[in-house]
């Protein structure tokens, strides 16, 4: 049994593996969180949208909110992963953006926040 190692000479850079697909997954998760927050908030303000999101009566509009959110998340993940397929992106920027989107999602699903607008 032999072990092989790649030797790197001084002054040469090692080829990096693109982090674009991973960054796409992280940012898409943030987009999904923001999407469910926006849908929850807007459906509370709009009775028409609340009725439109009622895909299954026993569950109510939650069925539509989660279904639309999953579709938005999958489209965002697919689109970003195709765009960043071979890219190395700044993970700090992606993580900050994802955390901001996560915060927006949490804030917009918090009922005391809704009461400021209704």
Task: Answer whether residue 12 is part of any domain.
Answer: no
Please tell me whether residue 5 adopts helix, strand or coil conformation: coil
Task: Answer whether residue 35 is part of any domain.
Answer: yes
| Cβ 61 vs Cβ 53: under 8 Å | yes
Task: Answer whether residue 106 is part of any domain.
Answer: yes
Over residues 4-23, the pLDDT tens digits come to 555 556 665 657 889 999 99
Q: What is the pTM of this model?
A: 0.84
Task: Answer whether residue 14 is part of any domain.
Answer: no
- In 3D space, the residue among 73, 115, 88, 106 whose CA is nearest the CA of residue 16 turns out to be 88
d(Cα 52, Cα 9) in Å, to the nearest integer? 63
Task: Answer whether residue 110 is part of any domain.
Answer: yes
Rounded to a whole number of angstroms, the CA Rg of the chain reads 21
- In 3D space, the residue among 97, 63, 77 whose CA is nearest the CA of residue 32 turns out to be 77
Residues sharing a CB contact under 8 Å with residue 85, sequence separation 6 or more, in sequence order: 18, 20, 21
Task: Answer whether residue 104 is part of any domain.
Answer: yes
What's the structural domain count of the chain? Answer: 1
Task: Answer whether residue 92 is part of any domain.
Answer: yes
Task: Answer whether residue 70 is part of any domain.
Answer: yes
The domain in which residue 74 lies consists of: 20-114
Over residues 29-88, the pLDDT tens digits come to 999 999 999 999 999 999 999 999 999 999 999 999 999 999 999 999 999 999 999 999
């Amino acid at each position: 049994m032999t072990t092989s190692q790649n030797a790197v000479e001084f002054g040469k850079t090692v080829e990096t593996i693109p982090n674009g697909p991973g960054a796409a997954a992280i940012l898409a998760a943030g987009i999904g969180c923001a999407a469910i927050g926006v849908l929850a908030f807007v459906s509370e303000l709009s009775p028409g949208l609340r009725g439109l999101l009622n895909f299954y009566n026993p569950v109510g509009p939650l069925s539509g909110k989660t279904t639309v959110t999953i579709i938005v998340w999958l489209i965002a993940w697919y689109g970003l992963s195709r765009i960043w397929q071979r890219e190395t992106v700044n993970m700090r920027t992606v993580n900050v953006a994802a955390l901001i989107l996560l915060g927006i999602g949490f804030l917009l699903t918090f009922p005391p926040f809704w009461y400021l607008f209704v």
